[in-house]
């Protein structure tokens, strides 16, 4: 139940930050995308990629899925080349839409109880990164 509350909080935060950045702009390409920098362990990033491989997506979601997965696999590849270990922390750089897509895709999957802590750590990392990316004074 606590995971669902966290998911709802992150979703609300993500929607608010994405909606706020899109307001007042008729051409989204003219505005620089918000960069979100979640911090996760390499093992968590690997786990997310594996988890995403087990979910069902719709045909219209293929591009968003592939884009989001690419950000994660690129981070894994870079960490592997840098000889990082599974317990080493990584800072991912994702656009707001990629964070939202990741979050949405993660909600679709089923997980085992043993994976709850990892899932919670990832959601917390996304939530913290979204909060950090919001302009101060909010």
Give tens-digit pLDDT for 5-26: 344 444 454 444 444 443 333 3
Average pLDDT, stretch 31-55? 91
Determine whether 82 is exposed, middle or buried from the number of CB atoms within 10 Å of its CB (0-12, 13-18, 19+).
exposed
Q: Retrieve residue 105's tokens.
A: 């895709």
Determine whether 84 is exposed, middle or buried from the number of CB atoms within 10 Å of its CB (0-12, 13-18, 19+).
middle
Within a 10 A sphere around the Cβ of 10, how many other Cβ atoms? 24
As a whole number of angstroms, the distance between CA 97 and CA 102 comes to 8
Q: What are the tens digits of pLDDT across the range 48-75?
A: 999 999 999 999 999 999 999 999 999 9
Q: What is the pTM of this model?
A: 0.74
């Amino acid at each position: 139940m606590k995971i669902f509350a966290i998911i709802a909080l992150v979703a609300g935060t993500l929607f608010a930050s994405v909606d706020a950045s899109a307001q007042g702009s008729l051409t989204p390409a003219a505005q620089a995308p918000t960069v979100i920098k979640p911090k996760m362990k390499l093992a968590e990033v690997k786990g997310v990629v594996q988890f995403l491989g087990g979910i069902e997506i719709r045909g219209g979601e293929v591009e968003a899925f592939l884009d989001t997965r690419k950000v994660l696999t690129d981070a894994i590849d870079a960490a592997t080349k840098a000889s990082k270990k599974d317990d080493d922390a990584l800072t991912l750089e994702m656009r707001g839409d990629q964070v939202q897509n990741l979050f949405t895709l993660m909600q679709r999957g089923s997980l085992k109880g043993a994976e709850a802590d990892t899932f919670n750590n990832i959601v917390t990392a996304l939530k913290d990164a979204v909060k950090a990316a919001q302009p101060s004074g909010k």
